[in-house]
Structure 1
Amino acid sequence: MQARLDGARWQVVPAYLGALSCTAVSFAGRHLRVSIHPLLARLTACVGAAGAASSAAAGLFAPVFTMPKPTGPYRVGKTTRLWIDRSRRSWLLKNKARSISHWSPYDRVGVVNADP
């Protein structure tokens, strides 16, 4: 949901992984009636806390930058493209993929930002 609203940010991945591990252990203990060793419960809580702390630190030390408001005669348009290289494999996905965002001048008639 966050990636859809605000764009994917690598800074939040540790927090999501920590929350996922805490949720999985809690779900297994409560709903699947699996006996969870107290040491595993504490370790999972530490993983969740470390994920949250590292995400907060990443947000402080590598913040998402903001662009200054443009002052020229044209508005700024943003184009996002997903480029997929079907000839290369990825360890996580079927094919290599790159998401590229491009900001450029924009006018209503499409003269400045027209595709060739």
Structure 2
Amino acid sequence: MVEGGAQGYALERRQVPGPPRPGRTGAVNTVLHEVATQHTQEMSTFLGTLHGWSGEWRAASDLSDFYMRLTPELAHEMRDKVHELIESYREKEVDRDTEGSAPYRVHLHAFPREED
């Protein structure tokens, strides 16, 4: 399910009511793949234009990868805490005409993996 709007969104499969059904599952998977593609395009565009951003903005950007072993409960807890932290910055947002400000995009991808 998609929650949000102009300020961003959260996709949570657990919010799709009822048992999995092929038609609904396929539609949800299509949305998830489209979002992943959009995130890839946005990051690629940023990396391609990195030279045009100020040193301050380059230092404020991040491309990180963290690996750990968690239970579903711990992963859910971590995801919720990260969402809360990100949402806490909404009250600090500056006006559009604030010097040096720019729209700032945060992508969060968190998922289990098979053993390597």
TM-score where L is the length of structure 2: 0.34
Tell me which of the two structures has the higher relative contact order, counting C-alpha pairs closer than 8 angstroms and 6 or more residues apart. Answer: 1
What TM-score comes out, normalization by structure 1 length? 0.34
Structure number, greater radius of gyration = 1
| Structure with greater strand percent | 1
Query: Hey, which of these two has a bigger chunk of helix by percent?
Result: 2
